[in-house]
Amino acid sequence: MIKSIRGTRDLLPPETELWNFIEGVTREVFRAYDFKEIRTPIFEETQLFSRSVGEETDIVTKEMYTWDDRGRAASDKAQSLTLRPENTAGVVRAYIEHKLWERPGVQKLYYIGPQFRRERPQKGRYRQFYQIGAEMIGPVAAGSESPARDAEILEMLATLLDRLGVEHWTLHLNSVGCADDRARYNDALRQALADVVDKMCPDCQRRTVTNPLRVLDCKVPEDQPIIAKLPRIADYLDEPCREHFARLRQILDGVGMRYEVNPRLVRGLDYYQRTTFEFTHGALGAQNAILGGGRYDGLSESIGGPQAPGIGFAIGEDRLVLTLMESAKMAPVLPDAYIAPLGTGMDVPAALLARELRRTGLVIALGDESFRLKKSFETAEKLGARAVVIVGENEVAAGEFAVKNLNTKQQVKIARADLGNHLRAAADGSGRPG
Ligand code: AMP
């Protein structure tokens, strides 16, 4: 038997209802903040990711699905392509390619779609996973660098999580400064680590050489007391970065947003500058980050674009579904009626009636003229249909159908013209949601 690939999974009904609910609410909330959707390709040139996410990051060194894509002719040069491990790089590439800075204001773009990383699969961590993300990017003159944008995006996230019914989330906030700050901080970290690194895990030993900042990400319990004593980035921020962070906090305080400043929050992608953040949720266990993001001033330049400061986030949709699975009381969508064609030749009038009713928005399950009436009723019951509409020769001739309500077991005759309203009224009366 052919099975789905490790780390990928099928999303089946009724769970897909929850995915649709999340995406529907998300689109509504983003709309209120004047964000517009962007859809970028699922694969891109490999160097887009190595140059933006960072050569030394786990994503680029270990986790990307990369292949050489040859043309038909043997002489065609192979191109190195990669399944996108995240979507910010693709959005910024599109921003540059389509000169979106020529459009007015800061670009406010969102996406919903699959991303791919070859990580060790576990609950809440998959190799194909889904992200809902948004970016605000534009020229400095449009205000893209302002901490007001950071605050706006964080407040939007809080509104979204509240609207979805995610309870007890925590916003962790930090500033990782600009490139100069980080260089000075990395030096300080290297010095501090020099004496203690032999006692740390192999990953930390490697990171101390390649990218000491990543040591702060370490989850190995034995390393935690050592990490707690390391210098803090806040002490290495220059004045403009310090001021930027202070102003962001001032706005968040002003709108009543709760947050915790977490000096260890550095995140796994190199392009972050200044503001970084994560929203966590207790119900998720080890993989407790529902979403993460930050500011990426300088990213556009690093892939050949103009100066275009920006800030964005990516929500792990799989994890959002996990947190809502318990709390959301999603009523499954059930058929308003099951149409039962009765006898040879009745498939056609039944299909016509189903077509009419479905076009008014009713949910209709359609039977088969080869079924005996008993089998039609059994099928309708199993599907959870609220009513059965019998379509036999006499009914069609009279323009009147026998409708049996499967809850009350009452059967009535309804004229064709009234059928839609009758079924709708029965559905509303049964306490059916929306
Ligand atoms: P990142 O793109 O690494 O900043 O991650 C943003 C969010 O995407 C995380 O907070 C997770 O919720 C989610 N995420 C990242 N990697 C995975 C994965 N392998 N499986 C499921 N969700 C993920």
User: For the segment 280-334, what is each residue's pLDDT rounded down to a tens digit?
Assistant: 998 777 778 999 999 999 999 999 999 999 999 999 999 999 999 876 667 778 9
434 or 61, higher pLDDT: 61
Query: What is the pLDDT at residue 329?
Result: 65
CA of 215 to the centre of ligand 1 (A): 19
SS3 93: helix
Least confident of 31-35, 181-185, 256-260, 385-389: 181-185
Report the nearest atom of ligand 1 relative to the CA of 279. 10
Q: What are phi and psi of 325, to 5 degrees?
A: -55, -45
314 in contact with ligand 1, CB cutoff 6 A: yes
pLDDT reported for residue 358: 97
What is the pLDDT confidence band of residue 431, given thresholds at 50, 70 and 90? very low
Pairing mode of beta strands 364-366, 387-391: unpaired
Probe target for ligand 1 pocket from 111, 119, 125, 131, with the most ligand atoms within 8 Å of CB = 131
Q: What is the pLDDT of residue 380?
A: 98
Q: DSSP code of 233? A: G
**pTM summary value:** 0.89
- Tell me the residue ranges of DSSP E strands in 158-316: 169-175, 260-261, 273-281, 289-295, 310-316
In total, the chain counts a number of residues equal to 434
Q: Residues 90-142: pLDDT tens digits?
A: 999 999 999 999 999 999 999 999 999 999 999 999 999 999 999 999 999 99
User: What percentage of the chain exceeds 90 in pLDDT?
Assistant: 83
Q: What is the percent of the chain with per-residue pLDDT over 70, rounded to a whole number?
A: 97
Nearest Cα residue to 400 out of 377, 420, 417, 425: 417
What is the model's pLDDT at position 433? 44
171-194 confidence digits (pLDDT tens)? 999 999 998 998 899 999 999 999
- What would the mean pLDDT of 141-150 be, rounded to a whole number? 97
In this structure, are strands 169-175 and 260-261 parallel, antiparallel, or unpaired? parallel
Contact call for residues 381 and 431 (beta carbons, < 8 A): no
Of 229, 168, 174, the C-alpha closest to 196 is 229
Tell which one of 129, 217, 269, 315 to mutate to probe ligand 1, the residue whose CB is within 8 A of the most ligand atoms.
129
The predicted-structure confidence for 338-366, as pLDDT tens digits, reads as follows 999 999 999 999 999 999 999 999 999 99
Kindly tell me the sign of the dihedral angle through the C-alpha atoms of 210, 234, 267, 194: positive
Residue 430 has pLDDT above 70, yes or no: no
Residue nearest to atom 20 of ligand 1 (CA): 125
End-to-end C-alpha distance for the chain, whole angstroms? 41
* Mean residue pLDDT across the chain: 93
31: which 2 tokens? 């709309």
Cβ contact 335:432 at 8 Å: no
- At residue 387 the predicted structure's pLDDT band, cuts being 50, 70 and 90, is very high
pLDDT beyond 60 at 399? yes
- State which of 6, 84, 125 you would mutate to test the pocket of ligand 1, scoring each by most atoms of that ligand within 8 A of its C-beta: 125
The total of other beta-carbon atoms located within 10 Å of residue 273's CB is: 24
* Among 270, 278, 7, 9, CA closest to 117: 7
* Distance of alpha carbon 92 from alpha carbon 248, whole angstroms: 23
Do the bridges between strand 364-366 and strand 337-341 make them parallel or antiparallel, or are there none, so unpaired? parallel
Query: Is the C-alpha dihedral spanning 76, 77, 82, 84 positive or negative?
Result: negative
Whole-number Å distance between alpha carbons of 293 and 171: 11
Between the CA of 148 and the centroid of ligand 1 the distance, in Å, is 25
Query: Across residues 34-42, what is the average pLDDT?
Result: 98
Provide the sign of the torsion angle of the four alpha carbons 247, 252, 258, 262, taken in this order. Answer: negative
| Residue 362 pLDDT | 97
pLDDT digits (tens, 9 = 90+) for 187-228: 999 999 999 999 999 999 998 988 898 899 888 999 999 999
Report the pLDDT averaged over residues 260-279.
89
Location of structure tokens 């689109």 = 27
**Contacting residues for 192 by C-beta, under 8 A, at least 6 apart:** 229, 230, 231
For 181, the enclosing helix (H) or strand (E) is helix 179-194
Residue with tokens 């100066």: 307
